[in-house]
A and B are shown apart, each in its own frame.
Chain A
Amino acid sequence: MTNDKTFAASVQRSPWKDFLKRVRRTPTALIGIALTLGVIAMAVFAPIIAPFDPLQMNVRERLNAPSMTHPFGTDDFGRDIFSRVVWGSRLALRLGTLSVLIAVSGGIILGLIAGYYGGWVDNLLSRLLEIVMAFPGILFAITIIAILGPSLDNLVVALGLFGWPDYARVIRGSVLSAKQREYVEAARAVGAKAGRVMARHILPNVIAPIIILSATRFGGALLTGSGLSFIGLGVPIPQPEWGAIMATGRDYMASAWWITVFPGVLIALAVLGVNLLGDGLRDVLDPRLRK
């Protein structure tokens, strides 16, 4: 009896439960989720968490060292660094999410088309992909910023536009191998349209690598974005973007270390979060790594 019950339970166990169980056993995934949720919570509750207006200047309080009132100190205009860093998480999430979304959607569409239709379409798209990949990512971003000027939206566009080839490559490869499978052939044989075959039969099989790639890309977007803001080619300075806050601290490195140090810690934690999340998901989702 008991044997039958366990057997029935194991048959009924949904893939979702199975997935959660494996996540719980993967410490990297758990730390990653905790850090990522932390940053998201910070962005959502920024008005509650931040004690001051991130843009409000107070010249009498300029360059104050960390204290009870200003836990991360103040900058050269007396703005509260802690409040700026907290509000900055909104800009970071926006930058990461939107640039990844642009890259994912472009990559999925072009990768599906190239892999599914093959022939000259594939050839043309593959050459286009090679051209975009011939520009190192940051160069592409700098080029676009040079043309459009520095702003958060231009940064999103720049980081999104150079991100799609990675996705397109993954998708194209998966489509090429899926096309050979019997279930796809069967779907085509019964007269399913190309769009339906791609959406229903091919796409679900490439979701895992896309999610993992997106986690890495998200972190990369934060690093490149804050780096460009830091040298003045990203989000302009009064905005509380983490890299831009650090740029204001450059002139006061010898006297006011806190302006530079705290935003950097936040970037590192946010990127570490998504990187661990990506690593953890890879361990969980890759069947070859399962014991």
Chain B
Amino acid sequence: MTRYIIQRLLLAIPVLFGVSFGVFLMAQLVPGDPATVLAGDTASPQMIAALRQELGLDQPIPVQYLRFLERLILHGSLGNSTRTHREVLVEIADRFPYTLLLTLSAVILSTVVGVLMGIFAAINHGRAGDFVTMMLAVIGLSVPSFWLALLMIMLFALNLHWLPVTGAASWQNLIMPTITLGLHSASVKARVARASMLEVMGQEYVRTARAKGLREQTVIVGHALKNALIPIVTLIGLQFGGLLGGAFITETIFGWPGVGRLAVQSIFNRDFPVIQGTVLLVAVAYLASNLIVDIVYGWLDPRIRYN
């Protein structure tokens, strides 16, 4: 198992370098000269040239990349926001807890709802309950989540005045963003949970459990569910990474002060150091959760370790 973990970690290193190079390239691909942008409209050509030298922009691209890596790894620095002039990592650290909270609550909600729907459909396989639940799941996959967000705002905030529209002042602010963010992953989980339950329920050991005369409830909860949940565990990990980086639209609609909203604001402000920082953070978080999934999976299913 240790060997497997080390192997997975080593495999992640080239990917991390690739991601960092991608993030570095972003700033290179932007039309216009960063020094001119940074210096502002009133700067003289001499000031711009000095700034270019200071930022190392007069160096060849590979040298610039190495410097970028050196700053990032040795000093944990991505430069300053061109707007607030604060260190990018500080800006992100301020917002990250909000994104984490929103992601966690969306993962919990979608897992509970999705798994329950999946089990319900599997138990009622081929009957109306199955069909209705799976129709709901495919509709959940097809409805644009930002549209659902707007419908909820119209109903619960503007008409009924039950919930606040924007901000993060109380736990009530969390309700609508959580549903918005969790909608699609709940639908995916419902489909996976159903398929996985159906597969497990056709296995010999479930038939044995039934043949022993166990109650249906004991068979489902004690024997089938535990094994059927393995793919769900994988899915939770993968979705966690995806949701962490997928909250741009949800956070923007609800004015939720997380990393996603920061990224969108930075794009409008053309604040490239902050955009780079959010992209890097989200990609690393996504990689880390995939890595954890791989490790958990290897632990749950020993066959994977040896392949």
Binding site for B on A (CB under 8 A): 28, 127-128, 130-131, 134-136, 138-139, 142-143, 145-147, 219, 223, 226-228, 230-233, 243, 246, 249-250, 253-254, 257, 260-261, 264, 267-269, 271-272, 275-276, 279
Contacts and interface: CB of A to CB of B under 8 A. Distances in A.
Nearest to A141: B248
A138 B142 contact: no
A247 B196 CA distance: 39
A172 to B, nearest CB: 16
Contact of A147 (B30, B142, B150): B30
A272 B158 contact: no
B146 A136 contact: no
B264 interface: yes
Interface string B140-154: 011111110011011
B15 A127 contact: yes
A146 B145 contact: no
A69 B143 CA distance: 28
Nearest to B14: A127
A250 B150 CA distance: 8
Contacts of A136: 241-242, 244-246, 282-283, 286
Given A253-B150, A261-B151, A230 B275 contact: no
A138 B246 contact: yes
Given A127-B18, A138-B246, A231-B264, A275 B141 contact: yes
Contacts of B253: 231
B14 A219 contact: no
Contacts, number: 125
Contacts of A271: 141-144
Which of A136, A219, A250 has the most C-beta atoms of chain B within 10 angstroms of its own C-beta?
A136
Contacts of A275: 138, 141-142
Contacts of B279: 135, 139, 143
A269 to B, nearest CB: 8
B249 interface: yes
Interface of B: 14-15, 18-19, 22, 26, 29-30, 138-139, 141-147, 150-151, 153-154, 158, 241-242, 244-246, 248-249, 252-253, 263-264, 267-268, 272, 275, 279, 282-283, 286-287, 290
21 contacts: A134-B283, A134-B286, A135-B245, A135-B283, A136-B241, A139-B246, A143-B275, A146-B30, A219-B141, A223-B144, A231-B248, A231-B249, A243-B144, A249-B150, A253-B150, A257-B154, A264-B143, A264-B147, A264-B151, A268-B139, A271-B143
A253 B153 contact: yes
Contact of B287 (A134, A232, A253, A268): A134
B175 to A, nearest CB: 18
Contacts of B283: 134-136, 139
A142 B150 contact: no
Nearest to B18: A131
Nearest to B261: A231
B145 A131 contact: no
Contact of A228 (B19, B150, B249): B249
B267 A145 contact: yes
Contacts of A276: 138
A174 B128 CA distance: 36
B23 to A, nearest CB: 9
A130 B253 CA distance: 31
A22 B112 CA distance: 35
Nearest to A32: B138
B147 A135 contact: no
A138 B184 CA distance: 14
Given A134-B18, A227-B145, 9 more contacts: A127-B15, A136-B245, A142-B248, A226-B144, A231-B253, A231-B264, A261-B151, A272-B142, A275-B141
A138 to B, nearest CB: 5
A268 B147 contact: yes
A9 B253 CA distance: 60
A227 B149 CA distance: 11
Contacts of B153: 253
A135 B286 contact: yes
A66 to B, nearest CB: 16
B139 A272 contact: yes
A275 B138 CA distance: 7
B252 A231 contact: yes
A267 B286 contact: no
Please indicate which of the listed interface residues B22, B144, B252 has the most CB atoms of chain A within 10 Å of its own CB.
B144
* 8 nearest A-B pairs in the assembled complex, by CB-CB distance: A264-B147, A131-B18, A272-B142, A136-B245, A271-B142, A146-B267, A227-B249, A268-B143
Nearest to B268: A232
Contacts of B248: 138-139, 142, 231
Given A135-B283, A231-B249, A272 B138 contact: yes
Contacts of A231: 146, 248-249, 252-253, 264
A227 B241 contact: no
A142 B267 contact: yes
Contact of A230 (B154, B241, B249, B263): B249
Contacts of A228: 249
Given A227-B249, A230-B249, A253-B154, A135 B19 contact: yes
A219 to B, nearest CB: 7
A143 B282 CA distance: 12
